[in-house]
Structure 1
Amino acid sequence: MMASLRISVIIPTFNRAALLRETLRHVLAQTSPAEEVIVVDDGSTDGTAEMVAADFAPQVTVLRIANAGDLAARNHGLSVATGDLVAFCDSDDLWDAGFLAEMRGIWRREPGLRVAYANFRILAETADQKDDKFGDAPPGFWEGMRELGEDQAVFDRPIVDRLVRFQPFFPSCMVADREFLLSIGGWDESVGRVVGTDFATVLLLGEHAPFGVIRRPLVSIRKHEANYSGDVQTMNLGDAAILEHVLARRPTLRPLAREITESIARRRREAFDIAFARHDFEAVLAIDAMLGASGRSASQRVKAMVARWPPPFSGLAAASLLRLGSWRAGTSSAG
C-alpha cells in the first residue's frame, strides 16, 4: 500500500508567473512523480493562469480563486486534492529531484505518520546559503527522536513546546496525510494575513504525533524583494502576533502559557533592537508600546527615550549608542 501512495502537490501563487515556471519544472522533474499537481491562482493579474495552461497542461491543473491569501489558497487546493498525501510548495521555492521519493520513503518506514518535514537551505538573490535550517536549532531541540535511518526520524510525542522556542518547518518542505489534515481543519486561516501565517498551522500540527523529519536539505527557500521571510524584524513581529493569537484561542496551549508569553516578549525585543539599528524610530515606539515597561531591558528603555527625540538628534544619538558593543542590535531570528 505504501508503494502505491498517491501524492497531490498544491502550489498557491499570486503574481509570480516568472518564478512559478521554475518551481513547476522542479516539481515535475521528481524521480518519484506526484500523481496530481494543482496550482491555486490566488487572484493573479500577471497572466499566471495563462502561462501554466500554455506551458504545463495537462500535467498541471490550474484553479483560479478571488484573492484571499496563501492560507485560503492552500485550503482550496486541499479541498479538491485526491491524493493519499498532500505536498505543499510555495510558488517561489524549489524542490530537489528526490524530495517526493524521500517522503514516500519515510511513509514506508512509518505508515502512521501525520506529517513530515524536510530540511532546507536558503536561496538568496545574491548568493546561496550553505548552512541548513535544522542546523540552527538550539541545543536539545532534536533530542528524543526515534531514528528510522537514512537521515529520517520521527517524534513520537507532541513538540509544541519546542516549536514555541524555535520554528524550523516551512510549508514548501511539508507533506501530510490528506485525511488527517482535513480532520484538523486544514491550514489555520484565523490568523488572517499576518506575516508568517503558516506558524499557526505548524503549532497545530506539532500537537500531533507521529511527526516525521528528514534531516537532509531537500528544498531551496528563496529570499527576494517580493517576500517577507528575509526580514527578521517583520518575521519576529509576525511570529509574536501569531503566538499571542493562538494562545488566546487554543485551550490546549494553556499549559505552555508561560513559555509562549516569554517567547512573544523575546521576539519583540529582538525586533525592537533591529528597528533601532535601522533608525526606524516609528517602529521602535510601536514595539515599545507592545512590550511595556516591564518587558524592556535597561538599554531598550534608553533607546525608546532616544527614539522620541526630534531629528537629527535621535539619529546622532542612536549612531553613538550602536557604536558601543553592548548596545548593538541583535540580528538573529527566533526561528
Structure 2
Amino acid sequence: MPKVSVIIPAYNAENTIVETIESIQKQTLSDFEVLVIDDGSKDKTIELVKQITDPRVQVFAYPNGGVSVARNRGIEQAKGEFIAFIDNDDLWTEDKLELQIAALEQHPEASAVYSWTVNMMDDGESISFVQGTESTVEGNIYPDLLLGNFIGSGSNILVRREVIDVVGGYEPNLAFSDWDFCLRVAAKFQFVVVPKPQILYRKIAGSMSSKLDAMEKEGLRALERAYQTAPPELQHLKNRSLAFLHRYLADLCLAHDTDAKGLDAAQKNLWQAVKLYPQILQERYAQKLIIKLLIKRLLPGNLSNSVIQGLKKQISCPDPRVEPKS
C-alpha cells in the first residue's frame, strides 16, 4: 500500500499534464501513487500519460463530470494512507510531500496539512508570491478559514485517509469546492502548516469581469453552505466573511481589468464590502484598493499603471481566494 495517493483531475491538459506529473516524480518522498483521473478529455491527455513508464502513475478515463467529480473518483481509487490533490496545470516543490507528511507525523493530533503558495504565470517563468497565503494558523483553523481561503487552491491540502471517511469528498455542484472541502475538514479536524512556499499555482491570463458574476454567485453559495453548519458562536463572522469575499472580487477586477466595466465591478464590490462590514475601511489593504480604484478612474492607462506600480509592493491581501479552475 503506498503511503500517499496523489489525485490529479485532468481535462484537456495536454499542454501541462506531463510537467505536473514530473513535479510529483521529483518528490524527495517516493512512496506514492499518482492517479490521473481523465475527465472526458478530447485532446491527447490520456495518450501522454500512458507514455509515462513509471508504474506509480495510473490513468483512469471517465465521462466529463467536472473537477470535483473527478477528485471524488480519484478518492474511490486511492489506496494510500494519506491523500493529496494537485490540479493538472500546477506544480509542487520537490519537498512538498516529505515536509507535509513529516509535519503530520510530528503532530499526531492533526489530520490535515497545508503549505504556502506562489503564482506561476502561463510562461512557467514569471513567479510571484501569493500575498496572504503565508498563514501560520494551526490547530483549529476553522474561524480563520471562514474569513478567507488562505489555503489557496486544491493543489495544496494533504489529509489522512480517515478525514475522507468523516467529511466525504468534494461538492460536485460548487465552483468553490476547494474552500468548501477545507472548511468541512477544518470543522472536524485540526490542521498543521508547513511555513514554506511549496505550491506553484498557474494563473491564466484574461478578463476577470467576465467571470465575476459566476464567481460571486459561487462564493456566496460556499459561504452560505458553511454558515448553515457553523456553530452559533461563529455566526457573528458572517458579514465579515461576505465583505472579504467582495473585497477579493474587487481586487481581481483591479488587477486584471482596466476598462470601464471592470472598474464598475470593482467599485460595486468595494461598496458592498463596506456596507457589510464598515470596519473594513480601517484596514490598510482596503484603503489601498480604494486608492487604486481612484487612480484608475482619474488617470490615463499608462500613467495610472506607473503610479500603481509604486504602491503594488505595499498592497497585500490577508484572505486571497484562488479563482476556481474549470
TM range (shorter): 0.7 to 0.9
TM-score by length of 2: 0.73
Correspondence 1:222 to 2:197: no
- Would you say the 8 A contact 1:121–1:132 is kept in 2? yes
CA distance in 2, matches of 1:117, 1:260: 24
CA distance in 1, matches of 2:162, 2:31: 17
1:23 maps to 20
Q: Deviations over 1:12-64 (max 9, x none)?
A: 11111120110001111212113311000111111211211123453311111
- The structural deviation recorded for 1:8 is 0.9
State which of 87, 98, 115 in structure 2 corresponds to 1:101: 98
CA distance in 1, matches of 2:54, 2:73: 20
Q: Call closer, same or farther: CA 1:81–1:136 in 2, change over 3 Å.
A: closer
- Would you say the 8 A contact 1:122–1:223 is kept in 2? yes
1:159 maps to 141
State which of 29, 32, 43 in structure 2 corresponds to 1:32: 29
Counterparts of residues 45-84 of structure 1 (less than 5 Å): 45-56=42-53, 58-84=55-81
1:152 maps to none
Counterparts of residues 254-333 of structure 1 (less than 5 Å): 254-268=232-246, 271=249, 274=253, 278-280=259-261, 284=265, 291=272, 322-323=297-298
Query: Secondary structure, in 3 states, of the residue corresponding to 1:260?
Result: helix
Query: Match for 2:167: what amino acid?
Result: I
Return the index of the structure with the highest Cα Rg. Answer: 1
CA distance in 2, matches of 1:28, 1:124: 22
- Would you say the 8 A contact 2:242–2:276 is kept in 1? no
Q: Call closer, same or farther: CA 1:236–1:199 in 2, change over 3 Å.
A: same
- Would you say the 8 A contact 1:5–1:104 is kept in 2? no
TM-score by length of 1: 0.71
Aligned length in residues:
285
1:178 maps to 161
Query: Match for 2:239: what amino acid?
Result: T
2:289 maps to none
- The structural deviation recorded for 1:270 is 5.3
How large is the Cα RMSD of the aligned pairs?
3.8
- The structural deviation recorded for 1:332 is 6.6
Percent identity over the alignment is: 23
Q: Call closer, same or farther: CA 1:183–1:267 in 2, change over 3 Å.
A: closer
Structure 2 stretches of 5 or more lacking a match? 279-292, 321-326
Query: Secondary structure, in 3 states, of the residue corresponding to 1:17?
Result: coil
- The structural deviation recorded for 1:253 is 4.4
Query: Secondary structure, in 3 states, of the residue corresponding to 1:221?
Result: strand
- The structural deviation recorded for 1:120 is 1.9
- Would you say the 8 A contact 2:4–2:81 is kept in 1? yes
Q: Deviations over 1:304-331 (max 9, x none)?
A: xxxxxxxxxxxxxx99982189xx9x99
- Would you say the 8 A contact 1:240–1:268 is kept in 2? no
- Would you say the 8 A contact 2:117–2:133 is kept in 1? no
State which of 119, 129, 132 in structure 2 corresponds to 1:131: 129
1:309 maps to none
Q: Call closer, same or farther: CA 1:270–1:29 in 2, change over 3 Å.
A: closer
CA distance in 1, matches of 2:266, 2:107: 49
CA distance in 1, matches of 2:188, 2:274: 37
CA distance in 2, matches of 1:226, 1:181: 35
CA distance in 1, matches of 2:158, 2:39: 21
- The structural deviation recorded for 1:272 is 5.4
CA distance in 1, matches of 2:267, 2:40: 32
